[in-house]
Homo-oligomer: A and B are copies of this chain.
């Protein structure tokens, strides 16, 4: 409709020094690129203090009257007993521990409100906490899918592909963890290949293994090779993403993994995965109270191991299809739950992981992005600091989708613009823009328009905004098909970030030794 000369545009080259200049390539928004987002809009607080106090009091009652069950980790039990927890032996390496109101809250006072996770490229270090927002890919799907080959088990090649697609996107800030399960690698050796892939194909921060304490240790040991042991002891360079066993259980695999990360001074995420009606109350206030109790106790373990260790309070709420009992994602009630949980995290002064681009759809279709937006906007509105599942999530977390990954990262780009907020300086108020030509005159040629047109609006790499006739002449292509073409083009354009050859060799030596030390295990 309007032609604006693309004068003054230059090709863009993003360097480690951080210099970024304009580009006319679709989907490039160099003015929005940042190593992590600093939010320019407030959080969306939907409950008042009294309601929040009622939820907190319920969490306190859960901890004090019902208690948390610990399994198969006497050391974790002893740490909590020494801190004042009331331990009841349940037999068979199982203990119920109750906590007087205020006890866990006191333990959490040494946890940092904000910390830095270091990347091997220091320009890509991320801040976690406060007004910082970090987007990371989805986590944990056994399957992958794309429009060409449909749904199949994930492989290490898929895993590497998603790291590469993440690395090349300016709209993610973190390489994530188990982006998909590399099911072609033995279960007991998988973590070595996954951690290496993050280290080699990305230069961003990442998550390590949590499936067994020794795999957590391997993950941290590989970081010592990459970053140096002294650096690792005094800086957070890796994090583990731990799930509680809801309702109200922390098993030994989990607590020993948490202890391993905390002892090394590394970060950990403490996530109850709450399917309402199955492992938590169906009502959101109850689910949020339980989530708070579980995540607080899990976080507190880190402070007993090493006060000051980074810990992230977390929440994953899902709803249920009432006729089938299937879990549902991207629905309205969990979005509300996220908004409330964000308020509670801020009252604890702790970093938060919450929600993401969730969907139960099996295709990158309208349902997929409608549900994703409902969930993802709750994440950014509730003040989430670390948004795992920011890209690729389909099929109720069972599948990583190549096309959805591209849609989600493009949406993450839009959220960079959104989270900047609305500037109200004189130039942004734009009085001169209207005064220049006055009523009834288009503003295309005003000095204000020419000054702002390159940076005023987010430029999507995927959306079709052409007139219908142009779109139709070009084949009438839908968003999923465009995303399919784009992930292939992006993978073809990928270049691995440089790595010190000596470090690379040392990492490969470590992996080879570890793999040689054990038989393949497939379960």
Q: Which A residues fall within an 8 A CB radius of B?
A: 1-4, 6, 24, 26, 41-42, 44-47, 51, 54-55, 58, 61-62, 65-69, 96, 143, 151, 245, 247-249, 276-290, 319-328, 331-333, 335-337, 339-340, 360-374, 377, 381, 395-396, 398-399, 407, 411, 414-415, 417-418, 421-424, 427-431, 433-435, 438-444, 448-449, 452-454, 456-460, 462-468, 471-472, 476, 478-480, 483
Evaluate contact between B1 and A327: CB separation under 8 angstroms.
yes
Query: Given A377-B373, A381-B44, A429-B58, do A361 and B464 touch, yes or no (CB 8 Å)?
Result: yes
- Interface pairs (8), CB distance under 8 Å: A4-B277, A281-B449, A282-B452, A286-B431, A286-B433, A287-B430, A370-B373, A395-B468
Evaluate contact between B369 and A373: CB separation under 8 angstroms.
yes
Evaluate contact between A247 and B443: CB separation under 8 angstroms.
yes
Evaluate contact between B360 and A463: CB separation under 8 angstroms.
yes
Residues of B within 8 Å of A449, CB to CB, are 277, 281-282
Which residue of the partner chain, among B42, B362, B418, contacts A468 with CB atoms under 8 Å? B362
Query: Given A46-B41, A335-B418, do A248 and B465 touch, yes or no (CB 8 Å)?
Result: no
Residues of B within 8 Å of A68, CB to CB, are 439
Evaluate contact between A479 and B422: CB separation under 8 angstroms.
no
Residues of B within 8 Å of A467, CB to CB, are 326
Residues of B within 8 Å of A381, CB to CB, are 44, 381
Residue among A51, A326, A340, A478 with the most chain B CB within 10 A?
A478
A488 CA to B435 CA, complexed, in Å: 52
A459 CA to B366 CA, complexed, in Å: 17
Residue among A24, A333, A417, A422 with the most chain B CB within 10 A?
A422
Nearest B residue (CB) for A248: B439
A451 to chain B, nearest CB (A): 9
Residues of B within 8 Å of A248, CB to CB, are 434, 438-440
Evaluate contact between B423 and A283: CB separation under 8 angstroms.
yes
Evaluate contact between B480 and A365: CB separation under 8 angstroms.
yes
A155 to chain B, nearest CB (A): 18
Evaluate contact between B361 and A3: CB separation under 8 angstroms.
no
Evaluate contact between B465 and A326: CB separation under 8 angstroms.
yes
A247 CA to B441 CA, complexed, in Å: 7
Which residue of the partner chain, among B365, B377, B411, contacts A377 with CB atoms under 8 Å? B377
A31 to chain B, nearest CB (A): 12
Query: Given A4-B322, A418-B336, A422-B46, do A286 and B429 touch, yes or no (CB 8 Å)?
Result: yes
Which residue of the partner chain, among B96, B363, B414, B479, contacts A332 with CB atoms under 8 Å? B414
Q: How many copies does the complex hold?
A: 2
A365 CA to B476 CA, complexed, in Å: 12
Evaluate contact between A3 and B369: CB separation under 8 angstroms.
no
Evaluate contact between A456 and B325: CB separation under 8 angstroms.
no
Residues of B within 8 Å of A287, CB to CB, are 430
Which residue of the partner chain, among B4, B26, B277, contacts A443 with CB atoms under 8 Å? B277
Beyond contacts A6-B323, A285-B430: 13 other A-B pairs, Cβ-Cβ < 8 A, are: A1-B325, A1-B326, A42-B45, A51-B422, A277-B443, A278-B443, A280-B434, A281-B433, A282-B448, A286-B431, A333-B418, A367-B478, A374-B377
Which residue of the partner chain, among B245, B336, B363, contacts A41 with CB atoms under 8 Å? B336
A411 CA to B326 CA, complexed, in Å: 20
Evaluate contact between B443 and A279: CB separation under 8 angstroms.
yes
Evaluate contact between A463 and B371: CB separation under 8 angstroms.
yes
Which residue of the partner chain, among B372, B421, B438, B466, contacts A370 with CB atoms under 8 Å? B372
Residues of B within 8 Å of A428, CB to CB, are 283-286
Query: Given A283-B427, A428-B286, do A247 and B440 touch, yes or no (CB 8 Å)?
Result: yes
Evaluate contact between A434 and B281: CB separation under 8 angstroms.
yes
A17 CA to B314 CA, complexed, in Å: 45
A442 CA to B279 CA, complexed, in Å: 5
